[in-house]
A and B are shown apart, each in its own frame.
Chain A
Amino acid sequence: MSDGKLARMANQIAVFFSAYPEADAIAGVRDHLHAFWTPKMIDALQVLAAEEEGEALHPLVRKAMGPAPDGDDPAARTVEGPDQLGSLASDAG
């Protein structure tokens, strides 16, 4: 997948979550990526985010690609039962 397309997809996700306070938004982007993207796509995005130059990434994407807060496991939020569901979980897409 081209870097341009990866960046565009990630930026679209970031734009949606940018309506939320920053901490929630970063977690939202990170959770979303882990719920729906293949590890290879996330790795490729990680590389893009680490680059100083290159594809224009939304600041939220860069932050979401940074180290996760201690003990935060996006996979756990993704699979919690309905009563404990994180705000950004989903079952399709």
Chain B
Amino acid sequence: MPLIKETDYGTPLRHNPDQVTLTIDGQPVTVPAGTSVMAAAMLMGTKIPKLCATDMLEPFGSCRLCLVEIEGRRGTAASCTTSAEAGMVVHTSSQRLSRLRRGVMELYISDHPLDCLTCSANGDCELQDMAGAVGLRDVRYGMDGANHVHPESPLTLPQDTSNPYFTYDPSKCIVCNRCVRACEDIQGTFALTIEGRGFDSRVSAGGADFFGSECVSCGACVQACPTATLTENSIIELGQPEHSVVTTCAYCGVGCSFKAEMQGSTVVRMVPYKGGHANEGHSCVKGRFAWGYATHRDRIRKPMIRARITDPWREVSWEEAIGHAAAEFRRIQADYGRDAVGGITSSRCTNEETYLVQKLVRAAFGNNNVDTCARVCHSPTGYGLKATLGTSAGTQDFRSVEHADVVLVIGANPTDGHPVFASRLKKRLRQGARLIVADPRRIDLVQAPHVRAEHHLQLRPGTNVALINALAHVVVTEGLVNESYVRERCELEDFANWARFIAQERNSPEAVEELTGVPAAEMRAAARLYAMGGRAAIYYGLGVTEHSQGSTMVMGMANLAMATGNIGREGTGVNPLRGQNNVQGSCDMGSFPHELPGYRHVADDATRHSFEALWGVTLRGAPGLRIPNMLDEAVGGHFKGLYIQGEDIAQSDPDTQHVTAGLAAMECVVVQDIFLNETAKYAHVLLPGSSFLEKDGTFTNAERRISRVRKVMPPLGGMADWEVTIALSRALGYEMNYSHPSEIMDEIAQLTPSFAGVSYAKLEEAGSLQWPCNEAAPLGTPMMHVDRFVRGKGKFMLTEFVPTEERTGPRFPLILTTGRILSQYNVGAQTRRTANSRWHEEDVLEIHPFDAETRGIAEGDLVSVESRSGDIALRATITERVQPGVVYTTFHHAKTGANVITTDHSDWATNCPEYKVTAVQVRRTNRPSDWQARFFLEDTALTRIERSADAAE
């Protein structure tokens, strides 16, 4: 396996139907119009020397190394900034060019340290390569005089090691601006600049050190740097990698492609892969740097069992642990009935693993009690989009945003939750697309460098449906409906009913102004912009779904998009930003209790029979229990055993005390995870999980893109997750025969029409595939609903606003809403075990100055947050990002227990919890809450591991 070196064309390749033919070094070459001479040369295999150019960035023309001669033109042109033209005759080498290039290199090297042998970039330094390429043999200027290199020189600056993941060494900087441009053009943060003038100029993180700056540690600058100026600390520590493997990030639903660069089975660094369609060579701090958890000392490496949760864990063999788990499940089924056990698939695991867990539940347990964490995030998306458009899938690929003229972001915080997509979005916004943000909180997108939301609809949490109805009301009553689109593509009777409903005065912006807290004029202006601003796209997140009317809101958005003709073209759509890396895949793979893989209801005889024939069992035709139902049943004493693969419901699910009561009431909880997570405190069997680096498989991202996950190191516990499920199934008496995950994918393809064309061989060839991938679409489907909706005609649904039952009042006057931040991921099991915690060491409560003042709360005070469900204590930060009456926190730290206060209210259709609206009171306190005090005790009491005497010594 070699080290993958992607071709660098020097400047971005252009997509243009117009082609031009020019001659380079006597050879004709045809390229799309707009291609640079440099890229044209590289397309025919000629590498023109360069330093400031790289194809991730627009040309800059500063290093003067890429000079070429063009016949009929005077002087020498920079090939990066010169476009190829028809008939152009270019020479890339001559004595004159060699002399010029050598002169340029000489100047660069005259102010560059010559410690190449001990330099961290040794083996991967473009400056060194170019010195070689131009044949530099001598530096006539000597190394004396003013310089940035010698330690005693007043211009020499110390290294900046403030960032935990990379080091800035100013002495190595050649001021090529690649890092600055990467920060601006790719990431869109504008944290870097060139400070000073002339000989004093130097890269600077806005005058601060990197850690204290605006830098978000996406790594784009480090990747762009041609020298050792910005270098990953892991490279400094370990040296250069010797081979690499392309794999898929295991953090968010963007699903970035990475090269895992390795030394043997040690990861040296993760570098975003340019060929990955989801990220096209970009990354964020999590995927790029926060992978150290995979080898963290907390990793569970041996199976463990215990009789009671208060007993210490006992390390046992795989055979014993799996045999014990299987025996317990069978005992429980014998004692309490077949339905007393169930399973939870993991949206963190691969498609193949998820498929096996649901297969185990349906075939070996013999019931449909299987669910997944999509229950608590995007299940309303599934329901709402299926009802209106015919499929639960997101409509577009990420690249589509490059064609959007208007972007409506609702209940999502892409710069924190989906940073790599956010960078794409910001790029489009800088090009002039217009932005509407609907969010109770002033998220970063509302005002970012060179990005500003034209309308920030700062609604009160819980009033989404009233808002979307008001926008639709404006569209209908002001005659902005795209009538020809609706007539051609939608059910007309439903449209007419909907239009009559939505046109009623009670849905007007003026009528809901007070309720939503958004000025009517703003709503009207936003609706007009969405309807008339050109191609309009909706991007949304959990701020839409995690409400008692989550499904209604999804339908409301689909209604609005259909009414304005904004589905089925590039740059439009209703686009869910999925949370977990494989939450799309886990849903596709039949993780819901009512449907088999491919979203087919268990009551469908034909589908069920096809599975029964292949699996050799009889399947139940009625839905099983959803996660909240399982917990309710457990508390009621009817549900006794649960197999949980890679999910931490004790931290992530709402109303923690109800969840833990349910878990504590069970007789056998089997947790398969890489860490002893919160749920494991209530487990009786712990099976070591494997990280994404330790197994083969596929993940499916929010674009429906299926990408390969490739094993780069052996599983620390000895078995990959899919092997564990197979072993458990065998022990339960149900044989599963797969020797590699590719065979599992073959079975999925055989049984699932939308996956019929998917195989590992094809993925190898195509890189990734977007389902549906079958005979009709052999290379997959980037965009859904192109000529017609999946359900045939689009269906407008009536979306009456119904206020949540969670009400504020004198006891609980504030609304708490929750979310995430950039550096931490979900329950934090991974990111808390990396240096990412330096940015976010604890969850804090954001509170408006007005609410803080009336409560006597000062910045950093410990405050108690109490709801009808429970109370916690955390530190307050005072900010106008939240509006008066609303407080906000994250749920990344188990010790905070943010979900102790969230309630058991849920979406009417899917039971997706209402995380985003909890009535609370906030007051100063001087101690942790009772729950937190108990947490600290249990954190030790329920996690003890009894090791044999010799192991302890």
Binding site for B on A (CB under 8 A): 1-2, 5, 8-9, 12-13, 15-16, 18-20, 32, 34-41, 75, 78-79, 82-83, 85, 87-93
- Chain A residue numbers with a CB within 8 Å of B552 are 16
Binding site for A on B (CB under 8 A): 339, 374, 378-383, 386-387, 390-392, 494, 501, 548, 551-552, 587, 592-595, 599-601, 603-605, 607, 621-626, 629, 632-633, 636, 790-792, 795, 797-800, 802, 805, 904, 906-912
B629:A92 contact, CB within 8 angstroms: no
Shortest Cβ distance from A93 into B: residue: B910
Q: Which of A5, A16, A20, A34 contacts B632 (CB 8 A)?
A: A5
Q: How distant is the Cα of A13 from the Cα of B383 in the complex, in angstroms?
A: 13
A71 to chain B, nearest CB (A): 17
- Chain B residue numbers with a CB within 8 Å of A1 are 629, 632-633, 636
8 closest Cβ contacts across the A-B interface? A92-B382, A93-B910, A79-B604, A91-B599, A12-B908, A75-B603, A19-B798, A93-B383
A37/B604 contact (C-beta < 8 A), A1-B636, A82-B791 known: no
- Chain A residue numbers with a CB within 8 Å of B636 are 1-2
B586 to chain A, nearest CB (A): 11
B800:A13 contact, CB within 8 angstroms: no
A13/B382 contact (C-beta < 8 A), A82-B790, A90-B387, A91-B595 known: no
Given A16-B909, A35-B603, A87-B494, 9 new contacts (CB under 8 A)? A18-B800, A35-B594, A38-B339, A40-B339, A78-B603, A83-B792, A91-B386, A92-B383, A93-B382
- Chain B residue numbers with a CB within 8 Å of A38 are 339, 593, 622-625, 629
Shortest Cβ distance from A78 into B: residue: B601
- Chain B residue numbers with a CB within 8 Å of A36 are 594, 623, 626, 909-910
- Chain A residue numbers with a CB within 8 Å of B792 are 82-83, 85
A35:B623 contact, CB within 8 angstroms: yes
Q: Which of A16, A37, A89 contacts B802 (CB 8 A)?
A: A16
B791:A93 contact, CB within 8 angstroms: no
Q: Which of B387, B392, B594 contacts A87 (CB 8 A)?
A: B387
Q: How distant is the Cα of A78 from the Cα of B596 in the complex, in angstroms?
A: 13
B253 to chain A, nearest CB (A): 15
B86 to chain A, nearest CB (A): 49
30 contacts between A and B (CB under 8 A): A5-B632, A9-B911, A16-B802, A16-B908, A36-B626, A36-B909, A38-B625, A38-B629, A78-B601, A78-B603, A79-B603, A82-B390, A82-B391, A82-B792, A88-B387, A89-B387, A90-B392, A91-B386, A91-B599, A91-B600, A92-B378, A92-B382, A92-B383, A92-B386, A92-B587, A92-B595, A92-B599, A93-B551, A93-B594, A93-B911
A90:B791 contact, CB within 8 angstroms: no
Q: How distant is the Cα of A85 from the Cα of B795 in the complex, in angstroms?
A: 11
Q: How distant is the Cα of A2 from the Cα of B624 in the complex, in angstroms?
A: 17
Q: How distant is the Cα of A15 from the Cα of B465 in the complex, in angstroms?
A: 14
B595:A15 contact, CB within 8 angstroms: no
A20:B594 contact, CB within 8 angstroms: no
- Chain A residue numbers with a CB within 8 Å of B587 are 92
- Chain A residue numbers with a CB within 8 Å of B800 are 15-16, 18-19
B797 to chain A, nearest CB (A): 8
- Chain B residue numbers with a CB within 8 Å of A8 are 805
Shortest Cβ distance from A33 into B: residue: B623
B374:A92 contact, CB within 8 angstroms: yes
A20:B798 contact, CB within 8 angstroms: yes
B798:A90 contact, CB within 8 angstroms: no
A90:B909 contact, CB within 8 angstroms: yes
A12/B548 contact (C-beta < 8 A), A5-B632, A75-B603, A93-B909 known: yes
A60 to chain B, nearest CB (A): 13
A28 to chain B, nearest CB (A): 10
